[in-house]
């Protein structure tokens, strides 16, 4: 609120050349508390106004007036604003307690829908730590979108089609063991897949054999389809165990194969538009004008590829959901693919293609190297989650052996640790897999936040706090760092969504927990003269920690 008020006043002072949104984007939060709570740099105005930034700052500072501003001071080319702490605190608490569940919500997405293409593990392969990224980033973005008013459709677009499944069929028929497949399906399918690629290094003809089996699958060969369906069913059953642990549900689970009988319609449409060209027996669409290599639509042997299916899926989703945006939460190595898909759709005349957005992310590394199922080098997500829960249970046993429902809390803490370890990083960066770092109960971790939340619960219980008796006025100066952080929640939600960056929420929660812990360590709360005011503030911290963690897909236990 305060930033908007300041931006509106400065825009009015500067005139039409500097609209409110421009001013809003320029306003900063000073790093040093002595420089106030908000700052507007005047350096960008110097050339246009032909004045020294210091003079501009002085002229602007003299004209800014509002009850929310305690003091406005020009400092080194900046307009530095000190907020009225009591005014801000009281206004914020009134907003929170008017409707606690709605605090931080926005309505700019109302009446619009967003489709999220996320998770998308490949059948017959283990659900590795690498797939965790798409799953938890996509889930957090869906939660943030809902908080901004959007209807969301989370689609788990299973990888169940393509040449690699021809290789898998060939591999199973050569080296597979039916009993082992029934006993431990993913492990057995992974074994033969790895065996295939090792053997193909010695005998390259195996690659062609794999392509031949995929052609059989596309042609509905009975043996190929029966085996493929079996592989798919056992894989989805195994994946469901992971999603249950993570607490993630989808609106639709659909494989690439769903579009097998719909791709001819897409190819026909592209042909009608005059976009298809023959090239060495294959069908392509040239994207020279867009500065991209040609997009392969059909191979010379008649099989389709990933791009053909994604083009078909995009057209189908627009017809079904009339989306505002489609967010493809897929690794950055697929950047070229999504650029091609988007440009092909635009060339075909689909204006909505501009709203297809690739939400790329870095790799999950192990010892600094990319994980690879093909080479047998991967960390299984289920094992990581189970180990995290086991370690959390051990910590609870040591520190609080009489805790009720220890198993549930251990699961909340262990799973939360794994999710937060991913989401605290900027999604575009690579993440080093480190079970030890995930499970640290101090520092930048989910257990640290969950413990802060449990501490608020403990304080509220000791103080016999009743939310219906909340006091929405507070005078305590020591609470100001907590109040300043709490009031940023709506802004953080909007930024995290619009920039598709859940790490902004993760970092906000860490800052809130840090400020709360400092406040708690240096302030007498229970039995003080202002006990009810301070407990009201602590309840607001509890609400925001819980809601913020929930937006990231993490639970917040009341006791740890």
Residue 211 has pLDDT above 60, yes or no: yes
Give the best-scoring range by mean pLDDT among 32-36, 215-219, 259-263, 285-289: 285-289
Confidence (pLDDT) at 83: 94
Confidence (pLDDT) at 260: 86
Residue 23 has pLDDT above 80, yes or no: yes
Confidence (pLDDT) at 239: 92
Predicted confidence band of residue 374 (pLDDT cuts 50, 70, 90): low
CA distances from 48 to 25, 138, 462 (A): 18, 43, 59
- The CATH architecture annotation of domain 2-83 reads 2-Layer Sandwich (3.30)
Tell me the β-bridge partners of 255.
158
Confidence (pLDDT) at 50: 93
As a whole number, mean pLDDT of residues 312-323 equals 97
* 198: its two tokens: 């090792």
Confidence (pLDDT) at 56: 96
% the chain with pLDDT above 90: 76
- In 3-state terms, what secondary structure has residue 523? coil
Confidence (pLDDT) at 187: 86
Confidence (pLDDT) at 378: 61
As a whole number, mean pLDDT of residues 525-547 equals 94
Residue 428 has pLDDT above 60, yes or no: yes
Higher-confidence residue of 521 and 126: namely 521
Predicted confidence band of residue 441 (pLDDT cuts 50, 70, 90): low
Residue 373 has pLDDT above 60, yes or no: no
Question: pTM for the complete prediction?
Answer: 0.90
Q: Determine contact, residues 342/315, Cβ cutoff 8 Å.
A: no
Predicted confidence band of residue 377 (pLDDT cuts 50, 70, 90): low
Confidence (pLDDT) at 372: 58
pLDDT one-digit tens code per residue, 469-485: 898 888 888 899 999 99
CA distances from 164 to 62, 173, 211, 264, 473 (A): 69, 14, 8, 21, 63
| CA neighbor of 24 nearest in space, from 45, 3, 46, 53 | 3
% the chain with pLDDT above 70: 98
Confidence (pLDDT) at 267: 96
Q: Determine contact, residues 360/374, Cβ cutoff 8 Å.
A: no
Higher-confidence residue of 125 and 68: namely 68
Confidence (pLDDT) at 379: 65
Task: Return the minimum-mean-pLDDT range out of 344-348, 427-431, 554-558.
Answer: 427-431
CA distances from 138 to 305, 364, 445, 504, 554 (A): 24, 16, 20, 15, 14
Kindly report the CATH number that applies to the domain delimited by 385-551. 1.10.730.10
pLDDT one-digit tens code per residue, 40-59: 999 999 999 999 999 999 99
- The rounded radius of gyration (Å) of the Cα atoms in the chain is 28
As a whole number, mean pLDDT of residues 488-507 equals 97
Task: Return the minimum-mean-pLDDT range out of 84-98, 151-165, 438-452, 511-525.
Answer: 438-452
Predicted confidence band of residue 128 (pLDDT cuts 50, 70, 90): confident
Domain locations in the chain as residue ranges = 2-83, 385-551
Q: What is the mean pLDDT of the chain?
A: 92
Looking at 66-157, list the stretches that DSSP marks H as alpha helix, in order from N- to C-terminal side.
85-98, 129-147
Confidence (pLDDT) at 365: 84
- In 3-state terms, what secondary structure has residue 95? helix
* 502: its two tokens: 């859940």
| CA neighbor of 40 nearest in space, from 9, 83, 80 | 80
pLDDT one-digit tens code per residue, 154-199: 999 998 887 888 999 999 999 999 988 888 888 899 899 989 989 9
Confidence (pLDDT) at 371: 63
The beta strand positions in 44-119, using DSSP E, are: 69-75, 78-83, 113-118
Q: Ramachandran region of residue 131, left (φ > 0), alpha (ψ -120 to 50) or beta?
A: alpha
Residue 124 has pLDDT above 90, yes or no: no
Q: Taking CA 547 as the corner, what is the angle to CA 541 and CA 549, rounded to the nearest 5 degrees?
A: 100
Report DSSP state, residue 559: -
Residue 525 has pLDDT above 60, yes or no: yes
Burial of 560 per CB tally in 10 Å (0-12, 13-18, 19+): buried
Cα 166 from Cα 212, distance rounded (Å) = 7
Three state DSSP letters for 392-439: HHHHHHHHCCCCCCHHHHHHHHHHHHHHHHHHCCCCCCCEECCHHHHC
């Amino acid at each position: 609120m305060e930033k908007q008020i300041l931006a509106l006043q400065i825009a009015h002072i500067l005139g039409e050349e500097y609209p409110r949104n421009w001013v809003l984007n320029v306003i900063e939060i000073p790093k040093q508390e002595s420089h106030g709570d908000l700052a507007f740099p005047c350096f960008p105005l110097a050339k246009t106004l032909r004045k020294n930034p210091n003079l501009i700052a002085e002229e602007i500072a003299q004209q800014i007036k509002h009850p929310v501003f305690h003091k406005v001071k020009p400092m080194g080319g900046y307009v530095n604003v000190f907020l009225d702490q009591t005014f801000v605190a009281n206004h914020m608490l009134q907003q929170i307690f008017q409707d606690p569940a709605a605090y931080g919500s926005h309505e700019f997405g109302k009446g619009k829908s967003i489709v999220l293409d996320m998770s998308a593990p490949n059948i017959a392969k283990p659900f590795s730590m690498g797939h965790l990224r798409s799953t938890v980033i996509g889930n957090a973005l869906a939660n943030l979108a809902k908080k901004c008013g959007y209807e969301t459709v989370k689609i788990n677009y299973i990888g169940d089609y393509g040449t690699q499944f021809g290789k898998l069929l060939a591999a199973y028929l050569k080296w597979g063991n039916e009993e082992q497949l029934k006993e431990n399906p993913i492990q057995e399918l992974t074994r033969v897949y790895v065996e295939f690629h090792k053997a193909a290094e010695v005998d390259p003809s195996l690659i062609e054999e794999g392509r031949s089996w995929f052609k059989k699958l596309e042609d509905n060969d009975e043996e190929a389809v029966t085996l493929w369906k079996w592989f798919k069913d056992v894989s989805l059953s195994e994946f469901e165990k992971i999603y249950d642990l993570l607490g993630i549900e989808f609106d639709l689970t659909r494989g690439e194969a769903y579009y097998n009988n719909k791709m001819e319609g897409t190819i026909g449409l592209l042909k009608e538009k005059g976009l298809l060209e023959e090239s060495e027996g294959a069908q392509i669409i040239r994207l020279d004008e867009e500065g991209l290599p040609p997009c392969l639509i059909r191979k010379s042997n008649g099989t389709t590829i990933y791009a053909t299916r994604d083009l078909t899926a995009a057209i189908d989703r627009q017809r079904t959901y009339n989306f505002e945006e489609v967010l493809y939460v897929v690794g950055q190595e697929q950047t070229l693919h999504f650029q091609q898909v988007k440009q092909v759709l635009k060339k075909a005349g689909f204006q909505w293609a501009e709203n297809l957005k690739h939400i790329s992310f870095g790799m999950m590394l192990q010892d600094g190297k990319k994980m690879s199922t093909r080479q047998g080098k991967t960390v299984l997500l289920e094992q990581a989650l189970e180990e995290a829960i086991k370690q959390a249970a051990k910590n609870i046993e040591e520190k609080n052996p009489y805790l009720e429902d220890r198993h549930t809390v251990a699961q909340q803490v262990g799973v939360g640790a794994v999710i937060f370890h991913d989401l605290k990083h900027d999604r575009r960066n690579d993440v080093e897999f480190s079970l030890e770092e995930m499970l640290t109960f101090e520092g930048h971790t989910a257990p640290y936040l969950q413990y802060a939340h449990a501490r608020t619960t403990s304080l509220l219980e000791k103080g016999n706090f009743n939310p219906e008796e909340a006091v929405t006025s507070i005078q305590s100066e020591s609470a100001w760092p907590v109040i300043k952080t709490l009031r940023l929640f709506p802004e953080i939600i909007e930024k995290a969504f619009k920039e598709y960056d859940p790490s902004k929420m993760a970092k906000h929660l860490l800052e809130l927990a840090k400020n709360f812990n400092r406040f708690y360590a240096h302030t007498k709360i229970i039995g003080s003269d202002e006990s009810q005011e301070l407990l009201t503030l602590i309840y607001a911290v509890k609400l925001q920690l819980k809601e913020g963690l929930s937006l990231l897909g993490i639970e917040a236990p009341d006791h740890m």
